[in-house]
Structure formats: C-alpha cells, structure tokens
Copies of this chain bind each other. A is one copy, B any other.
C-alpha cells in the first residue's frame, strides 16, 4: 500500500440535499476542531487504530439539480435544529469554496437535449476536470440524491455490451439517473458508493464494468434508523425461537425525502428495500409484514418510526414489542457517509474491486453480502479490517 500526499476528491450526487450538506459541514467542523467524532464508526475502537484517509485530505464537489450556496443551505439546516447554528459563521469560507465546485446535474431539465450516453460522458468529463483542477489522487463518487422510481426490467441491464448501445438511443429524461451516474463514474475510474435505494452498481452490466475497470463499489441504501433497529431486534426472535406473527412498521417523515416518497413508485423502491431485510432476518417468508411511509411536513428532517411486533411464544401465548424511533436523518446519515468515503478509499488503495461486502452494516440492502443481521455484519467488518483475534478456546 502506498500512501499519496495528494488530496482525495469526493463527488456528491445531490450535493445540496440535507445529508450532503450535513456531511460537508460536519467534515469541515471536524477539521476545524469545532465538533467531536460522535457518530463516526471509523473514529471508534477498534477502527480508530486503522490508518484511514485523514478528513483534511478531502475535497468536496458534486452535482445538484439546482446548485445553491452551501453556506446558505447550512444556515437553513442549522435553523431546523440539525446542527448548532454557531457552526455556520466559522465555516463560511470553506463552504463557499465547496460551493464553487458544484455543477448542475446532467439530468437537469435545461441539459435535456442529450441521450443518456451523452449524459454519462458528461459525468466522466466533469469528474476528470474536478480531479485535474484540484490535483486529486482519486475521486470517489457517492449518490445522496432523492430516491428514483424502481426500474423496469430491460435486457440491456444484463450485459455491458448491450448497455452502451441502449443508452445511446435513450433520451436522458427517460433514463435512470443512478445508471447514468454509475456509468460515468466507472468510465472515469472512480469508485462508487450508492447510499440510496436507486439503481446503481448492482445492475449486472455495471457490476461487470466495475470488475473490468478494477473499481470497488459499495451499497445500497444507507441503514440509518428504523431498519437499523429492526436488524438488531429481529435476530432476537430467531435466536429465541419466538414466532413473529406480524411486524408492522410506520415511518413518518418530512423533508425532501418525505416529499419524494409521496410518489408511490419511489415509495415502493424504498419499502421493498426495508421489507426484504425483515423476511430474510426472520427466515420466514410467511411472516405478515408491512412498511408504510407517510409524509408529515412538520417533521422536516426528523423521522419518527413506530414498529409493532406481534409474536407467539411457548404454548401459543401472544405478546408484543413496540418501538418508537425519533431520529434526525441527516445527523444519522452524514457520519456514515464520511465512514464510507474513508473505507472505500482504503479498499481502493488495497486494490479491492467489485462490491465491498464487508461494508454491509452500513446498508439496508447490502450488495456482496448475504444476511441482514447487524451483529453478524459488524463481525464481518471487524474480520475484514482487523487482524483476526486468537480463536476463543472451548469453554472449560
């Protein structure tokens, strides 16, 4: 492994969204010593012993449908209580510098005269220019944009040789942005992190391209709140041989995410991702489960989830567990985004390519890993990153 003195680029799709803005503010606040590392997995033992990418080396840039001044966005989020207002004035210069690295997404309505393939080529060009302009050793691309509708099956998705011709004749407005971004990133030699449930590197043709270009990727759909709790609790029922009869989850959320998910198609993409975890965890395809997402504007970035679990124990006794999670989505997601940047950077340095299955604990729908049990996912992360402990002896 060679360490470079160069800085590393992070190109964010959806760069002015809440999660992105919180990530950028948080990184600069950490560098300036204005906040602590609470919430960062890579800053806690045993991961803090690893020699990971220093936050000072990161240069942010990215796309947004309508790029805005990040200092302004930060002030809006601080007023909504996502982080302390006192941070914003001190970070004004850094945030304005990042703002100068933002471009309108090639999906934006005013760019729509292109084919999907042209849009992907534009992504590649933009990434290369970003890298050159800042003399970066590497640019990592991360998707933090709004959830897309789910993808209809199409034969061109199965093999790389069919994908390019198809995209050449597909108008960009009909294309999945996630596919266009991933293709553009892989063509530019950039690792890709899919923090959304939208399509991305898990599409077989793009998976093929990642291997061919020797690029690592990680995804998908960041596991920040209700699903995180679910993947800690469901193994309990399995381990105790308690029969889950019904698991009903209700998610109330405002903010941009809530608004997007009012669209039934986008919502379906999201709830499928949540529901799949549960059935796998309980090893019972017959369990009655539901995931409901309701838009509640007054909550803005605060998500409230209520889960109701009805289960049966010994001799048919029926019992319940309920939980209510009240979390700030951006505050939960942003440190994980920073963690993923550092861990994908390390994987790239170690010449890993294809899906990074050991990053499963960060995702609702992990690619390259089988299983949703959070504790087992964390074990895989430990084993992958750290020298194995001496195997525990048989009890006495």
Chain A interfacial positions (CB closer than 8 Å to B): 22, 25-26, 29, 35, 37-41, 43-44, 81-85, 87, 228-229, 232-233, 235-236, 238-243, 245-246, 248, 250, 252, 288, 290, 292, 294, 296-299, 304, 306, 308, 310, 312-328, 331-332, 334-335, 352-354, 356-358, 361, 368, 373-376, 378-380, 383-384, 388, 391-392, 394-396
Q: Which residue of B lies closest to A383 (CB)?
A: B392
CA distance A384 to B43 in the complex (A): 33
Do the beta carbons of A84 and B38 come within 8 Å of each other? no
Point out the residues of chain B lying under 8 angstroms from A317, CB to CB. 81-83, 328, 331
Q: Which residue of B lies closest to A376 (CB)?
A: B375
Given A335-B241, A375-B376, A395-B384; A298-B324 close (CB under 8 Å)? no
Given A292-B292, A298-B288, A335-B313; A321-B229 close (CB under 8 Å)? yes
Do the beta carbons of A357 and B297 come within 8 Å of each other? no
CA distance A314 to B40 in the complex (A): 8
CA distance A83 to B81 in the complex (A): 12
CA distance A319 to B25 in the complex (A): 19
Which of A44, A241, A383 has the most chain B CB atoms closer than 10 A to its own CB? Answer: A241
CA distance A235 to B379 in the complex (A): 12
Point out the residues of chain B lying under 8 angstroms from A236, CB to CB. 228-229, 232, 374
Point out the residues of chain B lying under 8 angstroms from A391, CB to CB. 388
Do the beta carbons of A294 and B298 come within 8 Å of each other? no
